[in-house]
């Protein structure tokens, strides 16, 4: 049956490891896999802005022998004029997969329920699972085995990256700590899902309002913008609540001596992270950005092998 990646726990622990192993191979031999030879087309739809996601999918689909069709919702019938499920029924007649950056998670669910081709969440208000595959690949490259490592996210606890960190890292058997102000907590059902996943993998979840407690001894420190797309009107109030949660050199010093710093980008230096951290020696943000390409190629290969009608 066709598989989709709508949220991080759509991949089981074994499947996540399989995709990451494949990403390592794809990165080592960039032109070897050509599942989209033809070329077959993949639709990549954007309701929100993007640099990395747009470029990494366009380049990755071309690397796989395919043709990327980049669609802006503003110039399409999606977004109020046509339902996600009707759109999906049309696209599946012509494309091999659908990649969609949107607002509501429910739109992605409707899109996936309405089609026989794989649907990939390229960021929603709730999750950013493609970014997490790239982040896990980056951590693995620098730290080896993921299981047992501790990752600390400090900042906006209601961020899509937090929800993806909770699910993807517990799936990988990691310990996830989130340091956030009480006004911006993660979604309780996602925290509960992450804790349940951790029970099976040896991972765990710690929520705290104390940034130093979150970071102490951590192997990886992560943050993200305080003002996610769609929340621009809340900037002033968010900056006030989140200022004590900036990742500074002093906070970074609480982490393990060889801790990595990650940020999905785009970054607001001087807000969620000090320039000395994001541009400092522990930062691996450029590897992280490049790994979007390799991780997403692996994901597409994996999904295309499992799509209805794929050769057994």
State the catalytic residues. Answer: 101, 128, 131, 224, 264, 292
CA-wise closest residue to 306 among 120, 65, 138: 120
Q: How would you class 107 by CB atoms within 10 Å of its CB: exposed for 0-12, middle for 13-18, buried for 19 or more? A: buried
**Please, which residues have CB within 8 angstroms of residue 193's CB and are 6 or more apart in sequence?**
9, 166, 167
Among 150, 171, 228, 282, binds ligand NVA (CB under 6 A): 228
Does the footprint of ligand CP cover residue 265 (CB under 6 A)? yes
Residues 120, 105: Cα–Cα separation, whole Å: 11
For 58-97, letters b (16+ CB in 10 Å) and e give bbbbebbebebbbbebeeeebbeeeebeebbeebbeebbb
Does the footprint of ligand CP cover residue 238 (CB under 6 A)? no
Closest approach of Cβ 40 to ligand NVA, in Å? 27
Binding residues for ligand CP, how many (CB under 6 A)? 8
Does the footprint of ligand CP cover residue 228 (CB under 6 A)? no
Judge contact between 159 and 185, C-beta under 8 A: no
* Closest CB to ligand CP among residues 51, 106: 51
Does the footprint of ligand NVA cover residue 161 (CB under 6 A)? yes
Does the footprint of ligand NVA cover residue 241 (CB under 6 A)? no
Does the footprint of ligand NVA cover residue 159 (CB under 6 A)? yes
Closest approach of Cβ 250 to ligand CP, in Å? 26
Residues 312, 306: Cα–Cα separation, whole Å: 8
* Closest CB to ligand CP among residues 53, 73: 53
* Closest CB to ligand NVA among residues 184, 302: 184
Binding part of the chain for ligand NVA, among 8-16, 75-83, 111-119, 221-229 by CB under 6 A, reads: 221-229
Residues 101, 41: Cα–Cα separation, whole Å: 17
What residue number has its CB nearest to ligand NVA? 228
Residue 51 interacting partner from ligand CP, ligand NVA, none (CB closer than 5 to 8 Å by kind): ligand CP
The residues in 251-310 that bind ligand NVA, with binding defined as CB under 6 A, are 264
Contact residues toward ligand CP (CB under 6 A) are 50-53, 123, 131, 264-265
């Amino acid at each position: 049956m066709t598989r989709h990646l709508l949220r991080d726990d759509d991949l089981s622990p074994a499947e996540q490891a399989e995709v990451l192993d494949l990403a390592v191979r794809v990165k080592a031999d960039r032109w070897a896999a050509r599942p989209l030879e033809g070329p077959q087309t993949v639709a990549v739809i954007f309701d929100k802005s993007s640099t990395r996601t747009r470029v990494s999918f366009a380049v990755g689909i071309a690397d796989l022998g395919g043709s990327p069709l980049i669609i802006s919702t503003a110039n399409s019938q999606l977004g109020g004029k046509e339902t996600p499920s009707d759109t999906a029924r049309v696209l599946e007649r012509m494309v091999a997969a659908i990649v969609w950056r949107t607002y509501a998670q429910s739109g992605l669910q409707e899109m996936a329920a309405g089609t026989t081709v794989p649907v990939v969440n390229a960021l929603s208000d709730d999750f950013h699972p493609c970014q997490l595959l790239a982040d896990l690949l980056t951590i693995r490259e620098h730290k080896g085995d993921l299981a047992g490592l501790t990752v600390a996210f400090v900042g906006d606890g209601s961020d899509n990256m937090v929800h993806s960190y909770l699910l993807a890292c517990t799936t990988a058997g990691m310990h996830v700590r989130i340091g956030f102000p009480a006004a911006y907590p993660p979604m309780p059902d996602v925290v509960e899902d992450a804790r349940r996943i951790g029970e099976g993998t040896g991972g765990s979840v710690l929520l705290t309002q104390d940034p130093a407690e979150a970071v102490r001894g951590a192997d990886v420190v992560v943050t993200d913008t305080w003002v996610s797309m769609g929340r621009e009107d809340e900037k002033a109030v968010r900056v006030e609540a989140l200022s004590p949660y900036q990742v500074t050199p002093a906070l970074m010093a609480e982490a393990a001596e060889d801790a990595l710093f990650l940020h999905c980008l785009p970054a607001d230096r001087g807000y969620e992270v000090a320039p000395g951290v994001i541009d400092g020696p522990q930062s691996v943000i450029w590897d992280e950005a490049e790994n979007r390409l390799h991780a997403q190629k692996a994901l597409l290969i994996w999904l295309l092998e499992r799509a209805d009608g794929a050769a057994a």
